[in-house]
Amino acid sequence: MERLQKVMAHSGVSSRRGAERLITSGRVQVNGRTVTELGTKVSPSDEVTVDGIPLERERLVYFLLYKPVGVISSRKDERNRKTVLDFFKDVPERIFPVGRLDYDTSGALILTNDGELAYRLMHPRFEIDKTYIAKIRPVPTNEQLRRLAAGVRLEDGMTARAKVRMIDGNREKGHASVQMTIHEGRNRQVRRMFAVLGLEVRKLKRVQYGVLDLTGLVPGESRPLKPYEVRKLYHLSHGSRSGQ
């Protein structure tokens, strides 16, 4: 027997919090009876429905994609551009990307049908480190690097402290590569952080997401996560797979 909200989150219908809201607002039924108690436990043979629609209890699957540039990270695009799901046409489970990488950003992107893990990885509270390499121009000054690390003011507030390191710089040609690790995930955050300091990002790649990096993958390739990697991601988000 498992808690109803956990079963719902693992089916990909929503996060555990989202499932709790669905339950308390009376939209969830177990074997045809509406359940509003959060403590309810269900067994695999119980039929769970949300708004009368049966929950599909899919096997949980996890992938790491090396997203190429020129691909969008949402499930669908109204302009019919290629989406990250186009790389998973032979995966029957209803996976979705965990967070986003911009159309013009490449790098590590997790896709899963585990709503609970996705929620944890995306929630700023859990502070999952994401490392980017940005090719920028011109070459930043030490003061600019220091400001990036200390936090800069964006329209949506100050950024948290970041780890920033110049990998290489060519003053004659006027360009540099900078590695930056942040744990927030605001929209176009890295590009906007450089932009407020007058630095132009010409290329951006996410080289690390939590414990995962791009080793062994080329752009457009993906691999399933190993069980220990999933466990580590749960662990990083301060919890265990079986508990809250």
Among 105, 113, 144, 159, binds ligand URA (CB under 6 A): 105
Nearer to ligand URA, 3 or 183 (CB): 183
Residue 102 a catalytic site member: yes
190 lines the binding site for ligand URA (CB under 6 A): yes
Cβ atoms of residues 213 and 110 within 8 Å:
no
Residue 220 beta carbon to ligand URA: minimum distance, rounded to whole angstroms: 17
In the window 204-223, what residues touch ligand URA (CB under 6 A)?
204
Cβ atoms of residues 207 and 132 within 8 Å:
yes
Q: Which amino acid, residue 72?
A: I
The whole-angstrom separation of Cα 213 and Cα 206 is 9
Nearer to ligand URA, 6 or 205 (CB): 205
133 lines the binding site for ligand URA (CB under 6 A): no
Catalytic residue among 102, 104, 129, 213: 102
Among 6, 10, 120, 191, binds ligand URA (CB under 6 A): 191
Query: Rounded to 5 degrees, what angle do the CA atoms 144, 145, 147 make?
Result: 65
- DSSP output for 115-164: HHHHHHHH-GGG---EEEEEEEESPPPHHHHHHHHH--EETTEEPPP-EE
Catalytic residues: 102
Q: Which residues sit at the interface with ligand URA, rule CB under 6 A? A: 101-102, 105, 188-191, 204
